[in-house]
Amino acid sequence: MRPRGKPGPATWKTLESRKVYSTRIFDLHHHRRYHHQRGHHDFYVLEAPDWVNIIPLTEDEHVVMVRQFRHGTEDFTLEIPGGMVDPEDLSPMAAARREMREESGYDSDDIIELGKVHPNPAIQGNYCHTFLARDARPGAKIQLDTTEETEVVLVPLASIKELIAGGEITHALVIAAFSFFHFYNPPA
């Protein structure tokens, strides 16, 4: 049974599809589609690999976060470690652990999946997978890409809701991750 108000199978027919631009992080595709009631329309879709983010939680209830410069906003944002699932990653969980180690220098042997979201289904088809790393501890070597500028910040878990409400944490995928954490965090 479909949820109330959810339409049936897609009724748009793709007449033409082509890649119009390619970068190292996404490809832009043009789709010419037809709908029997809405006519012909052009759509542009970003094709990107799945993404991951991970909430590293220390034994003393601190979240290992990174303050990272973002070129879209031309400012620093307070985030959890995350990034793309690379072709050599064995799974999204492996990618999340790699990102945590590379960006924060923390690691954990107790990682669980909390959920996944579509970052922007209007123009993207990929997922962002969210993980929780319990008992995160320092010891890995930070290995930033040449385009990354970060600072590791330990934030008390109890202050996360206030930081979101106060506008200190504004990254939508980080807020989604903490939503998963607060709704679905299983006991240790």
Question: For the residues 121-145, what does the mean pLDDT come to?
Answer: 92
- Position 179 pLDDT exceeds 80: yes
Question: Is residue 8 in a domain?
Answer: no
Report d(CA 71, CA 55) in Å as an integer.
Answer: 23
Angle at 29 between CA 83 and CA 46, to 5 degrees: 25
Please, what's the largest Cα pairwise distance for the chain?
Answer: 59
Q: Worst-scoring range by mean pLDDT, 41-45, 55-59, 142-146, 154-158?
A: 142-146
For residue 19, what are the domain limits?
13-47
- Position 133 pLDDT exceeds 80: yes
Residues 34 and 97 placed together within one structural domain of the fold: no
Question: Is residue 155 in a domain?
Answer: yes
Closest CA to 137 of 54, 52, 53, 57: 57
Report d(CA 146, CA 153) in Å as an integer.
Answer: 20
pTM of the predicted model, to two decimals?
Answer: 0.88
Model confidence at 185, in pLDDT bands (50, 70, 90)? low
Question: Is residue 91 in a domain?
Answer: yes
Residues 63 and 21 placed together within one structural domain of the fold: no
Most confidently modeled of 9-18, 125-134, 144-153? 125-134
Which pLDDT belongs to residue 118?
96
Question: Is residue 152 in a domain?
Answer: yes
Question: For the residues 117-121, what does the mean pLDDT come to?
Answer: 95
